[in-house]
Amino acid sequence: MADAPVRRIAVDLSGQVALVTGASRGIGKAIALALGRSGATVACVARNLEKLQAAAAEIAAAGGKASVHACDVADSAAAQVTMDAVMTEHKRLDVMVNNAGITKDTLLPIMSDADWDQVIATNLRSVFLFSRAAAKVMMRQRSGRIINISSVSGLMGNPGQSNYSASKAGVIGFTQTVAKELAKRKVTVNAICPGFIATEMAEALGATILEEVKKMIPAGRIGEADEIADAVLFLASDSAAYITGQVLTVDGGMTA
């Protein structure tokens, strides 16, 4: 019997502007494409300009609108320059998705200072920098959605990922605090914790390890990037206006 066709969430974000960090590949690219298909103009942010341009071309091919902004997301001045450029071009910001992330996996006794610092900077400092910049805009607008991509590793830890797990746990604490600060200005702040998702990062683990990972997941499969994008669309929609400070785990039941 053939599998039933997938029915994606339908959200109308026409007239809205979204900014997505780490939009050049993987989950970030899927999020940017989904926001574009839903009518939002998407400001795509990452380091690699060529890959950003390719992502923007896909958004345009699907009928959406996008701009590209090459940026080191962990650099404070660069983050503000990027936000200023987005505001100059698009005049507003409705959805901020902090997705940029890297891994530098190794066991704690042999982890270098650089491996720790780079992961914390990209995965956590960037969330602070772009959320701070977005908050100033959204507070003036008295509306907005900040959606931070954390990870199940921030909920339960993972051997060899003390830096990554710490950064993603930090994103959760940051989300819950900022949600309380911005709620009265009608700005919601939520986090999504993906489990194992079919991306380049997951593929780097190798087929043997991924097969073992599947055994840990009650759903019996690796998730798809589009399933994280669907969660973002929901939190960005009017239907989620009374949801803030929450952590939505999308992991096939792994942490249940």
**Cβ density class 167-176: b for 16+ within 10 Å, e for less:** bbbbbbebbb
How far are the Cα atoms of 47, 147, 194 from residue 127, in angstroms, in the given order?
15, 10, 16
Q: Cα-flanking dihedrals φ and ψ of residue 46, to 5°? A: -170, 180
Catalytic hit among 116, 130, 164, 174: 164
Respond yes or no: is residue 164 known to be catalytic.
yes
Amino acid (one-letter) located at 246: Q
Place of tokens 């780097």: 204
Query: CB neighbours of 181 closer than 8 A, spacing ≥ 6?
Result: 135
**Cβ density class 3-19: b for 16+ within 10 Å, e for less:** eeeeeebebebeebbbb
* Residues with a known catalytic role: 164
